[in-house]
């Protein structure tokens, strides 16, 4: 069971990501006039970057890709750390900040998110430049933690506005609310794992297995939660009016 899970970890993760993207496209007409359509675009974006980001595994296992394997051998792009740092750790933070900023109506809260994102982009760029060689061979816990902090801040500010408005009455029908709750729980579960990555070693398979189970369970919870929300919710009231206002 342990070997099966580890060997198919990527397959399970990519599958739920793809399912979420497909469901989003199937229900796109329902949300095409709502801000939620940006979230569907994001789900497709995630599926694409995950597919592209798997190139080290593809070129390792598929013989017909051997020319690409030989071309990348020994280069900075032989590994995919740089790709996920930019497209996921930085990209996801920027998207969620943008998304919840679009939903939030308070100018003050919008300004807080905007300032934090600009500081995040500036500090991330500087950190990458100062650790240029490591950028291609490892992930940066600093950028990941700040990225998650930006996401959590955006969600918390959204929740604060919901609690102070009439939106609270119909929160259970709001796709945005479900997105916020699901991502918030996912972030709280997965972020602490970063501090234990120093113990990640094939010599300690119990930890490797535990980490894989937690990440896989969290990812499945998040993307299947998105699937449920896209099917269950209806873009009415706040979402459509917000889109009309531009």
Q: Report whether 4 contacts 216 (CB < 8 A).
A: no
Q: What is the pLDDT of residues 88-111, one digit of tens each?
A: 999 999 999 999 999 999 999 999
Q: Any idea where the domains of the chain sit in the sequence?
A: 2-245
80 vs 166, higher pLDDT: 80
Token pair of 160 as six digits? 């604060």
Q: Report whether 74 contacts 30 (CB < 8 A).
A: no
Report the C-alpha gap between 195 and 183 in whole angstroms. Answer: 20
pTM above 0.85, yes or no: yes
Q: Which of 80-94, 133-147, 200-214 has the lowest mean pLDDT?
A: 200-214
Question: Which of 23, 49, 153, 143 is closest to 100 using CA atoms?
Answer: 153
4 vs 41, higher pLDDT: 41
Residues comprising the chain, all counted: 246
């Amino acid at each position: 069971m342990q070997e099966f899970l580890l060997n198919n970890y990527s397959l399970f993760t990519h599958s739920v990501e793809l399912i979420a993207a497909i469901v989003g496209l199937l229900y796109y007409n329902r949300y095409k006039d709502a801000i939620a359509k940006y979230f569907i675009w994001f789900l497709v974006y995630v599926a694409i970057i995950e597919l592209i980001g798997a190139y080290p595994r593809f070129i390792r296992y598929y013989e017909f890709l051997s020319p690409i394997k030989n071309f990348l051998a020994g280069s900075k792009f032989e590994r995919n750390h740089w790709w996920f740092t930019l497209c996921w750790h930085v990209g996801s933070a920027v998207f969620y900040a943008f998304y919840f900023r679009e939903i939030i109506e308070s100018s003050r809260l919008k300004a807080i998110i905007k300032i934090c994102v600009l500081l995040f982009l500036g500090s991330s760029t500087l950190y990458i430049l100062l650790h240029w060689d490591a950028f291609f061979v490892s992930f940066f816990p600093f950028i990941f933690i700040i990225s998650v902090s930006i996401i959590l801040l955006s969600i918390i500010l959204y929740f604060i506005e919901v609690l102070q408005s009439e939106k609270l009455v119909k929160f259970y029908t709001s796709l945005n609310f479900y997105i916020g709750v699901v991502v918030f729980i996912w972030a709280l579960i997965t972020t602490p794992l970063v501090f234990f990555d120093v113990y990640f070693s094939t010599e300690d398979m119990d930890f490797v297995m535990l980490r894989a189970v937690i990440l896989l369970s969290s990812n499945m919870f998040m993307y299947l939660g998105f699937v449920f929300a896209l099917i269950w919710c209806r873009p009415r009231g706040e979402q459509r009016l917000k889109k009309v206002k531009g």
